[in-house]
């Protein structure tokens, strides 16, 4: 959606999203999809037909777009045509794509410890420890303020996490000790404003960004010599899986992760190595002679 010829249409879509409480990230994503559709169409997007939308999906697939990318495009264009344009006729040309189910790669507790030990600095170690020790998403870690750490109740207040929901995350004594050490160091060096962000960026008024935290993760991963294909979000996966392996009730883990549905949390049972190790393979009953 270009800014010149159809800026009023763009503004209307933004207003429609704001009324429905869409996050800035979602708004940016939806606008980008409509912009790409406009470029593909080579004419105003409100002139698009069901056949145009079908061709756009074919184009995305030909360009190698993932199922996640294609489904995000479908959601954005359905909103644009149904809500902003008030049309239901065009969206019949779109269909969602089945997303391949992949199990997350999990680091062992020893690998996580090694990664945290190789974090580039105390701030990085503290932030990455929050991601693992409390199971927070990257966006939730960087959005924390000093006041969100409740040492008396030993909880972390997560404001407006995914789905715009507040929740409390666990705060272990070891993590609290690490955060106190980081706070004292940053406070003494004037790198943290009173009542400000727990992990401020170079400009103390702004928090560390998710992208910057991700770079710190990959730096620690490389320094620790970990070759697994993992990302910053892996620490959240590790949090859930390691708790499950410690026999923590899955419903408790669901609450700690902030999952609305138990089915989402139940996926971690598929990577629970404790459960797999407890099952005796039928091969062991064959009593094969040693090689």
Which residue in 12, 55, 162, 267 is the catalytic one? Answer: 162
Q: How many residues does the chain have?
A: 291
* 232 and 270, same domain (yes or no): yes
Provide the domain count of the chain: 2
Q: Which of 125, 137, 237, 242 is catalytic?
A: 137
Asked if residue 188 and residue 120 are part of one domain, the reply reads yes
147 within a domain of the structure (yes/no): yes
The residue among 50, 78, 42 whose CA lies nearest residue 58 is: 50
| pLDDT tens-digit profile, the chain (291 residues) | 544 445 799 999 999 999 998 888 899 999 999 999 999 999 999 999 999 999 999 999 999 999 889 999 999 999 999 999 999 887 777 888 887 777 788 899 999 999 999 999 999 999 999 999 999 999 999 999 999 999 999 999 998 656 567 888 989 999 999 999 999 999 999 998 888 999 999 899 999 999 999 999 999 999 999 999 999 999 999 998 898 888 888 888 888 888 777 766 667 665 555 655 666 667 666 766 766
Catalytic residue list contains 236: yes
**How many Å apart are CA 158 and CA 137, to the nearest integer?**
10
Instruction: Please say if 268 is a catalytic residue.
Output: yes
Residues whose CB falls within 8 Å of the CB of residue 234, separated by 6 or more in sequence, listed in order: 104, 105, 106, 107
Same domain for 242 and 134: yes
**DSSP assignment, residue 119?**
-
**Residue 36: inside a domain, yes or no?**
yes
249 and 120 together in one domain: yes
- Residue 132, class by beta-carbon neighbours within 10 Å (0-12 exposed, 13-18 middle, 19+ buried)? buried
123 is catalytic: no
We report the CATH number of the domain holding residue 249 as 1.10.443.10
Residue span of the structural domain in which 180 resides = 109-276
Q: Is 253 found in the same domain as 168?
A: yes
pLDDT of residue 4: 47
CB atoms within 10 A of CB 14: 15
Position 274 scores a pLDDT of 60
Query: Edge-to-edge strand order for the sheet containing 149-150?
Result: 149-150, 155-161, 165-170
113 and 89 belong to one structural domain = no
- Of 54, 69, 93, the position where a domain reaches its end is 93
Rounded Cα distance between 176 and 45, Å, is: 52
Closest by Cα among 139, 155, 20 to 75: 20
- Identify whether the C-beta of residue 240 lies closer than 8 Å to the C-beta of residue 257: yes
Supply the pLDDT for residue 224.
Answer: 96
pLDDT value at position 91?
A: 75
Euclidean distance between CA atoms 150 and 209, whole angstroms: 23
The residue annotated as part of the active site, out of 167, 236, 237, 242, is 236
The verdict on 180 and 252 lying in the same domain is yes
The 10 Å Cβ neighbour count of residue 290 is 3
Same-domain check for residues 124 and 184: yes
What's the confidence (pLDDT) of residue 42?
Answer: 94
In a domain, 283, yes or no: no
Q: Is 132 a catalytic residue?
A: no
The CATH number linked to 82 is 1.10.150.130
Among the options 55, 157, 233, 267, which is catalytic?
A: 233
- For residues 213 and 121, membership in a common domain is answered with yes
- Provide the pLDDT for residue 120: 94
Point out the domain boundary residue: 41, 59, 93: 93
Query: What pLDDT score does 281 carry?
Result: 65
């Amino acid at each position: 959606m270009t800014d010149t010829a159809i800026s009023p249409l763009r503004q209307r879509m933004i207003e429609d999203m704001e009324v429905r409480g869409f996050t800035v990230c979602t708004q940016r994503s939806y606008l980008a999809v409509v912009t790409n559709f406009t470029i593909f169409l080579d004419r105003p997007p409100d002139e698009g037909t069901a056949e145009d939308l079908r061709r756009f999906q074919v184009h995305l697939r030909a360009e190698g777009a993932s199922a996640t990318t294609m489904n995000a495009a479908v959601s954005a264009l359905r909103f644009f045509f149904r809500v902003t344009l008030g049309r239901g006729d065009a969206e019949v040309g779109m269909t969602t794509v089945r997303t391949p189910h992949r199990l997350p790669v999990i680091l062992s507790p020893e690998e996580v410890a090694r990664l945290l030990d190789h974090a580039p600095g105390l701030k990085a170690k503290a932030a990455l420890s929050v991601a693992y020790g409390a199971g927070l998403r990257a966006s939730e870690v960087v959005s924390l303020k000093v006041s969100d750490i409740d040492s008396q109740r030993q909880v972390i207040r997560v404001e407006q996490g995914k789905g715009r929901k507040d929740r409390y995350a666990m705060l272990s004594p070891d993590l609290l000790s690490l955060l106190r050490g980081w706070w004292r160091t940053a406070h003494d060096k004037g790198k943290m404003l009173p009542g400000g962000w727990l992990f401020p960026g170079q400009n103390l008024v702004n928090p560390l960004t998710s992208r910057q935290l991700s770079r710190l993760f990959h730096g620690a991963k490389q320094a620790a010599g970990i070759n697994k294909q993992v990302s910053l979000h892996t620490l959240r996966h590790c949090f859930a899986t390691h708790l499950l392996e410690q026999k923590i009730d899955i419903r408790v883990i669901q609450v700690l992760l902030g999952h609305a549905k138990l089915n989402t949390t139940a996926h971690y049972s598929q990577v629970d190595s404790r459960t797999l190790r407890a099952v005796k393979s039928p091969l062991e009953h064959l009593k094969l002679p040693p090689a």
